[in-house]
Chains A and B, each alone.
Chain A
Amino acid sequence: MKYVDDFRDQSLARRLARALAAEAEQGREYRLMEFCGGHTHAIFRYGVQDLMPANVRFVHGPGCPVCVLPTARIDQAIALTESHGVTLCTYADLMRVPGGDRRSLLKAKAQGADVRMVYSTQDALALARANPGRRVVFFAIGFETTTPPTAVALRQARAEELANFSVFCNHVLTPPALRTILASDAPDAVSIDGILGPSHVSTVIGSRPYEFVPRDFAKPVVIAGFEPLDVMQSALMLVRQLNERRCEVENQYTRAVTPEGNRKAQALMDETFALRESFEWRGLGRLPCSALRIADTYSKLDAERRFPVGLGESREVKGCECPSILRGVKRPTDCKLFGTACTPENPMGSCMVSSEGACAAYWTYGRFRALQATEPGRAA
C-alpha cells in the first residue's frame, strides 16, 4: 500500500536504528514521553522498542481520549439513557469503559438502554433524521482531532433544525494536559527529557501551541507522526536536540502539520464551542481551561442543558493504577491488577479498554517481554 507501507519499511527502520545507536550517548538515559495513545499503539504493534537502543526509553503519556475520561462522565452518560430515555450514539471503545460502580454502557445496553455504536458524527445525525420520534444524543469525546467533526455536526443539525439531536460534549484540549504533567511538583512526578508531540491533534492546532514547552520547561518537542518510522525518526530528532543542547519545537510530521494548523477547523471550533472553566481528567484531576462545552449560540443542541443529569464523584476501582499510568509515573506492569483482575476482556480501568491505552498495548502486544525477562536464558 503506497504511502502507508513507505512508513513501515524495515530497511529504513534499520537505518534509523543504527543512527540512534550511534548518536545516543553511552551512560546517558533519554526518557522520551510519547504524548499520544496512537504513538503508544504503534510502538507496541510494530515492536519499535526492539529497534531502539536500551538507553532511549519511551514514557507513555496521557493522550488517549477514552483513557482520560473520568468515570463520573461515563456514569452521566448511562444516566442520560436511563433517566431521559435518549438514544446514545458512541464510539465502540467507549462502550466498554467501566464507570464508577463498574457498570459500562455495554452493560447498560444489555439491560435495555438504547446505546448505539457509530463510526462518525454523521451516523448519529443520520439516525436522528431517520427517527424523528427518538431523542438522539451523540457522546462526543476526544482531543482537538475529533472536535471539528463534532462542530460540523452541530452546524448541520442547526441548519437542518434537527430538533431531536444533541451532543453530550466531553472534548478536551491537549496543551493544558501537557503543561500539567510538566509542571507537576509531586514527589512521584515523572522525569522526562523530551516530548514526542501529538500528530493528528497538531494537524488541527498546528505546532505553535507547544512553544511553551521549551520556553517554560526547557524541554524539546518533536511533533511526531503515528507510523513506526515517524516515531523512530522523531526519537532521533529528540536525541539530537538533547545532545546538541537545543530545545525547540520541531516538526517531523511535516506531511500533515504546519505551524498554524487548520485555520478553517479552528474557526469552526471557535464558533461552536466555548472553554469550560475547568474539567476533570482521569489521572490528572481538575484542570482549568482544559475542555470545551457547547457554545451558548448552540445551546439547544447541548445535551447537558437539555437533559440535566447530576455529575457525581469520579471513583476509581481500588488498586487501579490508571491515574499514575496516565501521568507516566507508573508502567502497566507496576499495577497489581494488570493481567490478573484486569484484562481487555474484563477491564477494570480505562487504560485497558482503548487500543490506545498503555495497559491494553502492553497486554495485547508486549506482555511476553516482562515474563521472558525474568526467565533464565531468555533475554527480552
Chain B
Amino acid sequence: MGRSERRFPLRLDVQRGAVDMTHGSGGRAMAQLVDELFKRHLDNDLLRQGNDQALFLPPPGRLVISTDGHVISPVFFPGGDIGCLSVHGTINDVAMAGARPLYLAAGFILEEGLPLADLARVVESMARAANAAGVPVVTGDTKVVERGKADGVFVTTTGVGVVPDGVTISGDLARPGDRILVSGSMGDHGVAVMSKRENLGFETEIESDTAALHGLVAAMVEAVPGIHCLRDPTRGGLATTLNELAQQSGVGMEIRESAIPVHPEVVAACELLGLDPLYVANEGKLVAICAPEDAEPLLRAMHSHPLGIGAAIIGEATEDPHQFVQMETGFGGQRIVDWLAGEQLPRIC
C-alpha cells in the first residue's frame, strides 16, 4: 500500500498503539486507521471504491438482508474471536433463508484505549473468515466512544444474500409430522466462552463451533429444495430455537434427549455450572425441519458436508394447541423444554 504510506508519513503503531478519540473524529487519524487497518486487511474491489457505500448490481432472485450486533465477552475465546464471529453470525442469519450470502457491511464501536494490536487481530480474523466464506466486507463504519462507555470492541455486521428460485424456507412452515434435525453437537460455543470468563475460568478442551453455514445450507437445499424451516440455535440454545419455531408455526414438538448430540465435555461443564446444554449457545450449528419423507435424504446430505457430520434427527413436530416442546428424557420420563427464563449467560455473542 505505497500510496497510503505517502498520505501518512508515520505508520500506525499497531504493535504498541491504542485507540484514542481522534480515531473516530473523521479526521486524518481516522482515515489512517481505516486505510492501514480496515482496508488493508479486508481489501476487495467494492471496498476499494472508497465511497460511503458499496455499489453493485444485484443478481436475479429474491434478496434477503439481516443484521447482527456482536458484544461478546471475552473478545478472544477458544476457537474464535469477535471478528470471525461477526462474519459467521450474519452469514448464518442470511443463509437460514436458504440464501447464498453475497456481501457484508460492518460497523465498529471501539472503546478509547483498545490496543491497536487487539483491533488488528480482530480485523485480520474477520478478513480470514470473509475470504474463506467468499463473502467480502464491502463497506463499513467506525466510531470511538470514551473509555468506560463500551467494552473494547463491538461489531455490527449486516449481510445481503439471494434466495434461489423454488426455495421457500421460513420459521412458520413446520407442520405436524415434520422431522426435526440438528447439524451437530449442541452447546460448544457457550461452554468455550464461559471457560474464559474471569469469574468462572475452568479448564476445557472444548472450542467454539463458530463457522459459516452457507455451504452446508447450499448442500442441504440442493438435496431437499423443500426444506420447511432452518434456524441457527445461537443465544438461548436449541431449546429457545425450537420454542420460537413451534410458536411461529403453531405446532408442538416432541424430541428425544438421547438423540441430541452433546459432547461429554459440554455435559460435564454444564453439570458443574448448573446449566442445561439445551440452553447453551451455538455459533456453527443449525436446526432443520422438513417433511417426514425428506428427513433421510436431508440427513445424508448433511452427513456428507464437513459441518454436518454430527447431524441427527432428534424428533418431530406435533399437533398441539399449547405449542409445547416436549422431550422424552434420557431417564425415560417426559418433560417440557421451555423458553429460557431470565439470563443464563450475558454477552455470549
Interface set of A (CB-CB < 8 Å, partner B) = 1, 4, 8, 10, 13-14, 44-51, 92, 96, 118-119, 123, 228, 343-345, 355, 360, 363-368, 371
Inter-subunit contact A51/B332 (CB<8 Å): yes
CB of B56 closer than 8 Å to a CB of A: no
B10: chain A residues at CB < 8 Å are: none
Q: Knowing A47-B329, A368-B326 touch, does A344 contact B341 (C-beta < 8 A)?
A: yes
Q: Knowing A1-B271, A371-B322 touch, does A46 contact B342 (C-beta < 8 A)?
A: no
Give complex CA distance A40, B200 in Å.
Answer: 27
Q: Which residue of A lies closest to B252 (CB)?
A: A368
Q: Which residue of B lies closest to A118 (CB)?
A: B199
- Near A by CB (< 8 A), chain B positions 172-216 give 199-200
CB of B150 closer than 8 Å to a CB of A: no
Interchain CB contact (< 8 A) of A48 among B271, B322, B331, B338: B331
Most buried by B among A123, A343, A364: A364
CB of B259 closer than 8 Å to a CB of A: no
Interface set of B (CB-CB < 8 Å, partner A) = 199-200, 264, 267-268, 271, 274, 322, 324, 326, 328-336, 338, 341-342
Interchain CB contact (< 8 A) of A96 among B322, B324, B332, B342: B342
Give complex CA distance A190, B329 in Å.
Answer: 31
User: How far in angstroms is the closest Cβ of chain A from B5?
Assistant: 44
Q: Show 18 residue pairs from A and B whose CB-CB distance is below 8 angstroms, ordered by the A residue.
A: A1-B267, A4-B268, A10-B330, A10-B332, A13-B331, A46-B331, A47-B328, A47-B331, A47-B333, A47-B335, A48-B331, A50-B333, A119-B199, A365-B338, A366-B335, A367-B336, A368-B322, A368-B336
User: How far in angstroms is the closest Cβ of chain A from B223?
Assistant: 34
Most buried by A among B274, B333, B336, B338: B333
* Apart from A8-B331, A50-B333, A344-B338, 4 more pairs, CB < 8 Å: A49-B333, A96-B342, A355-B274, A368-B336
B268: chain A residues at CB < 8 Å are: 1, 4
User: How far in angstroms is the closest Cβ of chain B from A360?
Assistant: 8
- Judged by DSSP, the binding face of A is helix
Q: Which residue of A lies closest to B331 (CB)?
A: A46
Q: Which residue of A lies closest to B199 (CB)?
A: A123
User: How far in angstroms is the closest Cβ of chain A from B343?
Assistant: 8
Total cross-chain contacts (CB, 8 A): 71
Q: Knowing A48-B333, A50-B332, A366-B336 touch, does A345 contact B342 (C-beta < 8 A)?
A: yes
Inter-subunit contact B331/A44 (CB<8 Å): no
Q: Which residue of B lies closest to A229 (CB)?
A: B331
Q: Which residue of A lies closest to B335 (CB)?
A: A365
Q: Which residue of B lies closest to A106 (CB)?
A: B342
A14: chain B residues at CB < 8 Å are: 332
Interchain CB contact (< 8 A) of B335 among A4, A44, A343: A44
Give complex CA distance A13, B333 in Å.
Answer: 10
Inter-subunit contact A364/B338 (CB<8 Å): yes
Inter-subunit contact B332/A363 (CB<8 Å): no
Give complex CA distance A193, B319 in Å.
Answer: 40
Q: Knowing A119-B199, A344-B341, A345-B342 touch, does A1 contact B329 (C-beta < 8 A)?
A: no
Give complex CA distance A10, B334 in Å.
Answer: 13
Give complex CA distance A188, B330 in Å.
Answer: 38
Q: Which residue of B lies closest to A42 (CB)?
A: B331
Inter-subunit contact A51/B333 (CB<8 Å): yes
Inter-subunit contact A345/B199 (CB<8 Å): no
User: How far in angstroms is the closest Cβ of chain A from B269?
Assistant: 10
Q: Knowing A118-B199, A364-B341 touch, does A13 contact B332 (C-beta < 8 A)?
A: yes
Inter-subunit contact A344/B335 (CB<8 Å): no
Give complex CA distance A55, B126 in Å.
Answer: 61
Inter-subunit contact B271/A368 (CB<8 Å): no
Give complex CA distance A105, B342 in Å.
Answer: 14
Give complex CA distance A365, B331 in Å.
Answer: 14
A48: chain B residues at CB < 8 Å are: 331, 333
Q: Which residue of A lies closest to B271 (CB)?
A: A4
Q: Knowing A118-B199, A364-B336, A367-B336 touch, does A228 contact B331 (C-beta < 8 A)?
A: yes
Inter-subunit contact B338/A363 (CB<8 Å): yes
A119: chain B residues at CB < 8 Å are: 199-200
B328: chain A residues at CB < 8 Å are: 47
User: How far in angstroms is the closest Cβ of chain B from A341?
Assistant: 15
Q: Which residue of A lies closest to B325 (CB)?
A: A368
Give complex CA distance A1, B322 in Å.
Answer: 34
Q: Which residue of A lies closest to B328 (CB)?
A: A47
Inter-subunit contact B335/A45 (CB<8 Å): yes
7 smallest beta-carbon distances between A and B, as pairs: A47-B333, A344-B341, A46-B331, A50-B333, A365-B335, A10-B332, A47-B334
User: How far in angstroms is the closest Cβ of chain B from A4?
Assistant: 6
Give complex CA distance A118, B200 in Å.
Answer: 9
Give complex CA distance A14, B330 in Å.
Answer: 12
Give complex CA distance A345, B334 in Å.
Answer: 23
Give complex CA distance A354, B330 in Å.
Answer: 24
Q: Which residue of B lies closest to A8 (CB)?
A: B331
User: How far in angstroms is the closest Cβ of chain A from B198?
Assistant: 9
Most buried by A among B264, B326, B332, B338: B332
Q: Which residue of B lies closest to A360 (CB)?
A: B341
B324: chain A residues at CB < 8 Å are: 368
Give complex CA distance A320, B33 in Å.
Answer: 59
Inter-subunit contact B326/A8 (CB<8 Å): no
Interchain CB contact (< 8 A) of A46 among B274, B326, B329: B329
Interchain CB contact (< 8 A) of B341 among A13, A46, A123, A345: A345
Q: Which residue of B lies closest to A120 (CB)?
A: B199
B271: chain A residues at CB < 8 Å are: 1, 4
A123: chain B residues at CB < 8 Å are: 199
Give complex CA distance A367, B335 in Å.
Answer: 9
Inter-subunit contact B333/A8 (CB<8 Å): no
A50: chain B residues at CB < 8 Å are: 332-334
A92: chain B residues at CB < 8 Å are: 342
B335: chain A residues at CB < 8 Å are: 44-47, 365-366
Inter-subunit contact A1/B338 (CB<8 Å): no
A8: chain B residues at CB < 8 Å are: 330-331
Inter-subunit contact A365/B342 (CB<8 Å): no
B200: chain A residues at CB < 8 Å are: 119
Give complex CA distance A364, B37 in Å.
Answer: 48
Give complex CA distance A48, B328 in Å.
Answer: 11
B267: chain A residues at CB < 8 Å are: 1, 4
A368: chain B residues at CB < 8 Å are: 322, 324, 326, 334, 336
User: How far in angstroms is the closest Cβ of chain B from A123?
Assistant: 5
